[in-house]
């Protein structure tokens, strides 16, 4: 990544210069985004991770991959690659990075043991889990050695691949380099809640093998042993300095090529940047200082005088499902430093600021469970806070986070070393008119992305100061935001897209506004989603009331309110799945999903389910997905309220409620939080006095814990507060905006949202109550309504000109007693989908 940045900066800063640059790399792939390597397990592939190829388009730059340098001849000024190719140089930059260090543990050479460093590592890990799972016929037991940032990302990756995850950390806490004791313990609680088994203060001593020679167990130094069908070592990195060492360059005591402020090595013609460079005895392990070194080298090569000074490190945990971040003097090592902490064990959040002895200057910060302050406070490192530190941490502190009026020299994006002044100049001097253009111009926000919220504020503020109106139009056909259009649709009683666009828009609509308007019409009870012209507005899933899968078939997910289901209904689901050859799976929302239904089979499946008392689970729409619940007071000896009954009540109340984005609800019967309510858009947790309600949480790509909105509510008051919150969200959120960013961006923050929803400060409570009452009164099951309408049923065919012919291209392979879409190399006995699936399920 650092070499890519160097090439990019050289091209950008010397567009007409007479120079030639050759970049030699060991990996076969072009430079890729190693910071987001874990995104590989969330659907990204090598192409999605590849960094922009702009530098390689310049004729002065040559990129050669898969042929690393093996030796350097400093006298002849040449390098020799693995293939024997000899390249001459005038100036040589070493950007060889680091390698994943593995401790001397017996068994690390067994099949099934991996490191977590390169694209090849994650591809091999994915392939092993898939192959070994089929060989053993069961989910694998996974283990990760190392509880740092990468170790936790690796554990999350194992979970995404369907394995369990045990994290083994030799230190006494997770992320021990970045978090203090309080932050480490808070992170342990959150990570354990994700289903990971955390073992600290112990290490791996031996890996045992199964009968076929693959890894199977891990012995620990505390005398215990854990099953381990796949093991990932993430125990730190070491600088790759072999080539430099063998060529006689000065090497640091702890490794790495010694460099000075100009990033020159002991040979004035050779430079070193990134993780292989040792500056003042330290090697960096982050991309931001590596990029800063690359900037210095480029400036020096072009005749400048820039020098490198390390900035305080900042780290943010990504892709795990919990939030943790830190920056600066985390452990308060600065003489006289003060620590200001706030911990909420119920909300499972921990915040700490480290400040100077006069409590004015920010020296560092730790955030676990809620990192919303990280992006805005980190740029203030070493600067006056402007308020009592505790005011930033306590929920009702009231101190606003630093906003778009930061001084020009404050670094907004540390990864690319972009200051607030550079961002403003991109708007005022380079004509950028959007965040996307500023990111392209400055590279800010293009690496880890944590600075994007602050970047957006600065860009919009600068545009407004320059007299440029910041557009909030929903699309080219509607010159207003979604919330304003929604209010007009509701006020005017509009019932079709044609009426909406004639009254308030232009043209014929697009893929942006049509689904958004369709959601508005559904939210205002304008009729079934497949009625009249509504059907043409829907996204693919809404159009057929089912979720499309990778092979073009659909999933069927009936509603199971609160996760409660009778034995008789369980039998029906089994019978339907067997009759239609469907694969079944219990979902995280406490439902049973059936996969592999052809479009022409959907009505017949729905008929069987509706007759048995089921209805649509709405798993396909931007609407309520499910209300997850624990067993609560009814069965659990710790339960203090009847969470199961409350979950059923809420799900039956909000079923079919269309909204700007999907939303989920959780109800836990006590503070042990077995329903994971804090990870939902609306979370309800029982107390001895009633219910606490939390809002704005979600899992997925950007996990966030919900925040406390109201506490100790009785049943009816709880329902009223949730009614008002959801109705207000539906009316005022942007298109496809989940509750988490809506709550985070709410004007006045959570305190103002509480005043509006709970205290009814604006006097709109009765209106919000009426909106929800209307929805409840007019709810109809979309499956049943479709089955009762022959016109709607006519669209559920595989081929319009051959409605009775099933799709012949659907082919399935057996896996663990069920089926999945066939892949290349699968042994499929019969290409006829009905016969093939029936034979495989029976076998």
Residues making up the binding site: 630, 636, 670, 674
- The string of DSSP letters for 179-236 reads --HHHHHHHHHHHHHTT-EEEES--EEEEEE-TTSSEEEEEETTS-EEE-SEEEE---
Binding residues for [4Fe-4S] cluster: 630, 636, 670, 674
Q: Say if CB 545 and CB 782 are below 8 A apart.
A: yes
Binding residues for siroheme: 674
- Per-residue 3-state assignment (H helix, E strand, C coil) for 129-162: HHHHHHHHCCCCCEEEECCCHHHHHHHHHHHHCC
Cα torsion at 611, 612, 617, 621 (round to 10°)? Answer: -20
Cα torsion at 390, 396, 399, 405 (round to 10°)? Answer: 130
- Token pair recorded at residue 56: 């390689």
Best CA proximity match to 560, nearest among 619, 636, 478 = 619
- For 168, half-sphere exposure in the C-beta direction (CA atoms, 13 angstrom radius) is 24
**∠ CA 38-41-43 to the nearest 5 degrees?**
115
- DSSP-derived letter for residue 810 is -
* Alpha carbon distance 577, 465 (integer Å): 61
On the 0-12 / 13-18 / 19+ scale of CB atoms within 10 A, 176 is: middle
On the 0-12 / 13-18 / 19+ scale of CB atoms within 10 A, 390 is: middle
Q: Say if CB 77 and CB 159 are below 8 A apart.
A: no
- DSSP-derived letter for residue 32 is B
Q: Say if CB 631 and CB 669 are below 8 A apart.
A: yes
* Alpha carbon distance 596, 377 (integer Å): 49
- Token pair recorded at residue 4: 């890519």
* Alpha carbon distance 760, 273 (integer Å): 57
On the 0-12 / 13-18 / 19+ scale of CB atoms within 10 A, 474 is: buried
């Amino acid at each position: 990544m650092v070499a890519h940045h160097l090439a990019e900066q050289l091209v950008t800063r010397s567009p007409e210069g007479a120079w030639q640059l050759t970049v030699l790399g060991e990996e076969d792939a072009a430079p890729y985004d190693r910071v987001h390597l874990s995104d590989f397990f969330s659907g990204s592939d090598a192409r999605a991770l590849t960094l922009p190829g702009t530098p390689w388009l310049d004729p002065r730059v040559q990129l050669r991959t898969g042929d690393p340098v093996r030796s350097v001849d400093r006298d002849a000024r040449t390098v020799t690659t693995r293939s024997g190719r000899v390249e001459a140089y005038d100036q040589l930059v070493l950007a060889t990075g680091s390698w994943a260090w593995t401790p001397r543990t017996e068994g690390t050479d067994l099949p099934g043991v991996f490191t977590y460093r390169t694209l090849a590592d994650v591809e091999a890990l994915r392939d092993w889990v898939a192959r070994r799972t089929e060989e053993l016929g069961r989910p694998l037991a996974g283990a990760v050695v190392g509880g740092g940032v990468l170790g936790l990302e690796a554990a999350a990756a194992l979970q995404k691949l369907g394995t369990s995850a045990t994290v083994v950390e030799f230190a006494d806490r997770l992320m021990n380099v970045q978090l203090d004791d309080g932050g480490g313990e808070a992170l342990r609680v959150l990570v354990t809640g994700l289903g990971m088994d955390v073992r600290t203060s112990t290490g791996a001593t031996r890996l045992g093998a199964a009968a076929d020679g693959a890894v199977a167990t891990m012995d620990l130094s505390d005398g215990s042993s854990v099953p381990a069908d796949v093991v990932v070592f993430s125990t730190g990195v070491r600088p790759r300095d072999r080539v430099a060492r063998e060529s006689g360059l000065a090497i640091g005591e702890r490794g790495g090529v010694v460099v000075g402020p100009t990033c020159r090595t002991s040979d004035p013609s050779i430079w070193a940047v990134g993780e292989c460079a040792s500056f003042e005895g330290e090697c960096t392990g982050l991309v931001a200082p590596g990029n800063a070194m690359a900037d210095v080298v480029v400036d020096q090569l072009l005749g400048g005088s820039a020098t490198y000074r390390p900035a305080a490190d900042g780290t943010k945990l990504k892709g795990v499902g919990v939030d943790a971040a830190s920056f600066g003097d985390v452990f308060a090592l600065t003489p006289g430093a003060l620590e200001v902490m706030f911990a909420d064990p119920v909300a499972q959040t921990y915040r700490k600021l480290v400040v100077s002895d006069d409590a004015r200057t920010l020296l560092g910060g730790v955030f676990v469970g809620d990192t919303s302050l990280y992006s805005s406070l980190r740029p203030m490192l070493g600067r006056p806070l402007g308020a009592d530190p505790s005011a930033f941490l306590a929920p009702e502190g009231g101190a606003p986070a630093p906003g778009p009026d930061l001084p020009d020299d404050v670094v907004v994006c540390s990864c690319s070393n972009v200051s607030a002044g550079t961002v403003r100049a991109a708007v005022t001097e380079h004509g950028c008119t959007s965040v996307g253009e500023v990111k392209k111009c400055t590279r800010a926000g293009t690496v880890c992305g944590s600075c994007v919220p602050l970047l957006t504020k600065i860009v919009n503020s600068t545009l407004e100061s320059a007299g440029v109106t910041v557009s909030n139009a929903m699309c080219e056909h509607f010159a207003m935001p979604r919330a304003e259009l929604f209010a007009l649709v509701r006020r005017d009683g509009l019932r079709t897209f044609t009426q909406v666009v004639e009254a308030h828009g232009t043209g014929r609509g697009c893929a942006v506004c049509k689904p958004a308007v369709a959601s508005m019409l559904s939210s205002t009870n304008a009729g079934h989603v497949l009625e009249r012209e509504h059907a043409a507005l829907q996204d693919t899933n809404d159009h057929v009331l089912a979720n499309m899968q990778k092979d073009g078939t659909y999933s069927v997910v009936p509603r199971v309110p609160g996760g409660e289901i009778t034995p008789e209904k369980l039998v029906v689901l089994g019978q339907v799945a067997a009759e239609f050859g469907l694969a079944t799976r219990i979902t995280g929302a406490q439902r049973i999903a059936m996969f592999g239904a052809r479009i022409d089979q959907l009505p017949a499946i729905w008929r069987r389910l509706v007759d048995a008392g089921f209805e649509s689970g709405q798993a396909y729409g931007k609407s309520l997905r499910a209300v997850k619940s624990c067993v609560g007071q009814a069965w659990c000896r710790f339960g203090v309220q009847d969470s199961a009954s409350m979950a059923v009540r809420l799900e039956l109340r909000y079923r079919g409620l269309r909204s700007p984005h999907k939303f989920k609800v959780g109800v836990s019967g006590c503070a042990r939080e077995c329903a994971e309510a804090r990870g939902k858009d609306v979370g309800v947790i029982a107390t001895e006095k009633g219910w606490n309600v939390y809002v704005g949480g979600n899992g997925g790509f950007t996990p966030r814990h919900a925040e406390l909105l109201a506490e100790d509510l009785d049943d009816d008051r709880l329902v009223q507060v949730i009614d008002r919150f959801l109705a207000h969200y539906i009316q005022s959120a942007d298109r496809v905006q989940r509750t988490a960013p809506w709550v985070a961006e709410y004007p006045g923050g959570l305190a103002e949202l509480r005043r509006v929803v709970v205290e009814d400060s604006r006097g709109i409570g009765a209106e919000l109550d009426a909106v929800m009452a209307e929805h409840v009164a007019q709810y109809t099951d979309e499956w049943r309504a479709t089955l009762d309408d022959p016109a709607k049923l006519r669209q559920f065919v595989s081929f319009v000109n051959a409605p009775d012919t099933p799709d012949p291209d659907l082919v399935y392979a057996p896996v663990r007693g069920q089926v999945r879409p066939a892949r290349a190399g699968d042994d499929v006995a019969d290409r006829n989908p009905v016969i093939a699936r029936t034979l495989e399920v029976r076998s």
